[in-house]
Amino acid sequence: MKVYCTSPWIPVEWVCAHGHEPCGVWAAVDELPSATAEGVCPFARALVELASKNHQAAFVFTTACDQSRRAADAVLLQSHTPVFLFNLPATWQTPAAHRLYRAELARLGRFLERLGGFSPSYLELMLVIRRYSEQRAMLLDLIQHSPARQAAEAVMQYFWPDHAKKPAAAGKVTAHGVPVALIGGPLLPSQWGIFDVIESAGGRVVLNATEPGERCLVPQLTLSTDNSDLQAVVADHYLDHCVDVFQRPNTRLYDWLAVRIAQRGVRAILLWVNLHCDLWRAEAQTLRNRFGLPVVMLEAHDIPANLNRVTTRLAALIETVRSGSRPADLHQPRKSEPYAVQRTNPGDSP
């Protein structure tokens, strides 16, 4: 059975080891709905619609945000599609958080068994863990040597192997263009045109920290002979390397970004947000304060609907970076934009 995972922090190897086919939802969503109810995230709405059309599959939602919780509730009410709500610990510094994640992974395993799966043996689980871990390691290396769009395609294929039947030919990373980081929430294949827009404006994405992007690939997991509890090993590894905005404190997100922004010479940040996504929207000012770089907010619903406007804004940003100036209208949200008020999280930023 296909099991659609709505978060990169659900271990795909755990789903696979239980005899099911893990599929990242991002490749399955063709495009975001043009209109949703007030306050409803278009991505969450798209997941509800996807689930309503796939009764023969199962969906794993998480508690990472209120929109995801509500989407899980909506699917349960509107269809007969099997749904599992995974309680992701918002905190990560305590033993209790690790116990919760381990317990949720065990609960997910029982859910997968009820769907016709099986409890994997130690050897079966070890082989699946090793295979996925090696894939991530190769993928992380590939990302460093591939153009942003092709890297995004490769990451998408990891979360859903059937997505790219014929991988694109390997491209060549160009040294031209102002290096920028693309940071934020879900970025769908139908929105990959943003990479071309950035390049046409004179920029170059050297860090894709959207979902699913480089940020969503946990490091390679090295197994040793004393790993007697592989379930705990997988759970602890994912929780220890979860890099996301929903965590409190979200210092790990900023520490992860800081290393890569410095290593790759990032000169501007593009914040990718979906409509009504308060979690990412609230980070704009904190990103400016932490890294001292210009930050431009890109609304996901503008791609591909308003490419001309986005191109104009990006071209202005790139010219500003090259000239060394920072006009206020570039790094502050426009008053005409909905939900343009920014707020900081003093207790969360490092």
**CATH code, 148-331:** 3.40.50.11900
Cβ pair 283, 207 in contact under 8 A: no
Q: Do 2-123 and 148-331 have matching folds?
A: yes
Q: What is the dihedral of CA 245, 249, 250, 251, to 10 degrees?
A: 180
Pull the structure tokens for residue 174: 């160009």
Check pLDDT > 70 for residue 343: no
| pLDDT confidence band for 136 (50 / 70 / 90) | very high
pLDDT digits (tens, 9 = 90+) for 193-212: 999 999 999 999 999 999 99
Q: Is residue 212 reached through a cis peptide bond, with omega within 30 degrees of 0 on the bond before it?
A: yes
269: part of which helix (H) or strand (E)?
strand 268-273
Q: Cβ contacts of residue 32 below 8 Å, gap of 6+?
A: 42, 43, 45, 46, 188, 274, 300, 301
- Quote the DSSP letter at residue 167: P
Whole-angstrom Cα distance, residue 323 to residue 49?
Answer: 46
* CATH no. of 2-123: 3.40.50.11890
pLDDT in tens, 229-238: 999 999 999 9
Identity of the amino acid at 328: A
Mean pLDDT of all residues belonging to the chain: 88
Give the separation between CA 287 and CA 85, rounded to whole angstroms: 30
Report pLDDT for 302. Answer: 77
Provide, rounded to the nearest whole percent, the portion of the chain with pLDDT above 70.
Answer: 87
The answer to pTM > 0.75 is yes
Report which of residues 218 and 347 the model is more confident about: 218
83-86 β-sheet, strand order: 21-24, 2-5, 58-62, 83-86
Tokens of 171: 């491209």
CA atoms of 311 and 318, how far apart (whole Å)? 10
Domain ranges of the chain: 2-123, 148-331
- The pLDDT of residue 328: 46
340 vs 105, more confident: 105
What pLDDT, in 10s, does the model give residues 160-188? 886 544 444 444 556 689 999 999 999 99
Say whether the peptide bond before residue 249 is cis (omega within 30 degrees of 0): yes
For the stretch 7-59, pLDDT in tens is 999 999 999 999 999 999 999 998 888 766 778 899 999 999 999 999 999 99
Tell me the residue ranges of DSSP E strands in 28-99.
Answer: 58-62, 83-86
